[in-house]
């Protein structure tokens, strides 16, 4: 079935380090892809999305490129801050009415 | 603009008690969802609705019921609470899912 696989966490980085969180998917069609962020004690917030191959989503310094050939949507940020500490979820949606399918989340901790 | 509002934010129940969680959205979204979040399990879909008066089962519907009598509200009921239902519950809403979801801030439920 359709699924999302994220790298296992937790990920611990020093401030200003480069971040990559890997996300790969399995889908029967051509999904829309999303990254959500969950700060401690809060609900999930949409961080960025891409709807077709080679699209790049970006927001708040984070980027992810929809790679159909590798079925991937890796999240990157050039220089993380302590305030980026959160859990990050990759997700996909198939078709205009397909419910989102979430990965299990990757916890990021950024140390000053 | 309040977005998605969940009430209550915290609740402790005794085994066998019943309760209703309320989700309200003010964005005129057709789709609404209830998820539970447990450590190591990610987000699991309980029930969802594609419009007023409709409901459908998700991945883990047993022990829960839902109703969508008004477009802006989606209620999640527990008829006889069990300790296995201790979790954080999130409501979300969306236009068609491919646009992405807006989440509420969650309800932390403990069943003792």
Test B98 with A96 for CB contact under 8 angstroms: yes
Q: Which of B41, B50, B100 sits opposite A49 (nearest CB)?
A: B100
Tell me what the mean pLDDT of segment B95-103 comes to: 88
Mean pLDDT, chain B, whole residue set: 94
Residues of A within 8 A of B103 (CB-CB) are 36, 43-45
Residue B86, min C-alpha distance to chain A (Å): 16
H or E element, residue B37: strand B31-38
pLDDT band at B40 (very low <50, low <70, confident <90, very high): confident
**Alpha helices (H) along chain B:** none
For position A82, what pLDDT does the model report?
A: 97
The contacts of residue B98 (CB under 8 Å, 6+ apart) are A32, A51, A93, A95, A96, A97, A98
For position B1, what pLDDT does the model report?
A: 62
Test B42 with A51 for CB contact under 8 angstroms: no
Rounded to whole angstroms, how far apart are CA atoms B67 and B83? 23
Say whether pLDDT at A37 is over 80.
yes
């Amino acid at each position: 079935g359709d699924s999302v696989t994220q790298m296992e966490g937790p990920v611990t980085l020093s401030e200003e380090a480069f971040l990559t969180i890997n996300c790969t998917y399995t889908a029967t069609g051509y999904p829309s892809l999303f990254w959500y962020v969950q700060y401690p004690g809060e609900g999930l917030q949409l961080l960025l999305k891409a709807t077709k191959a080679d699209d790049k989503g970006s927001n708040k310094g984070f980027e992810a490129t929809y790679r159909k050939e590798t079925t991937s949507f890796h999240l990157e940020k050039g220089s993380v801050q302590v305030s980026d500490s959160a859990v990050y979820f990759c997700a996909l949606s198939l078709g205009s009415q397909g419910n989102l399918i979430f990965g299990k989340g990757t916890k990021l901790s950024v140390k000053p | 603009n309040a977005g998605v509002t969940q009430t209550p934010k915290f609740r402790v129940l005794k085994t066998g008690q019943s309760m209703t969680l309320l989700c309200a959205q003010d964005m005129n979204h057709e789709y609404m969802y209830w998820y539970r979040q447990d450590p190591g399990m990610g987000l699991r879909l309980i029930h969802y609705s594609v419009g007023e008066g409709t409901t459908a089962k998700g991945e883990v519907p047993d022990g829960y019921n839902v109703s969508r009598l008004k477009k802006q509200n989606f209620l999640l009921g527990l008829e006889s609470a069990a300790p296995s239902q201790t979790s954080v519950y999130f409501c979300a809403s969306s236009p068609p899912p491919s646009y992405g979801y807006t989440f509420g801030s969650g309800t932390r439920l403990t069943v003792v």
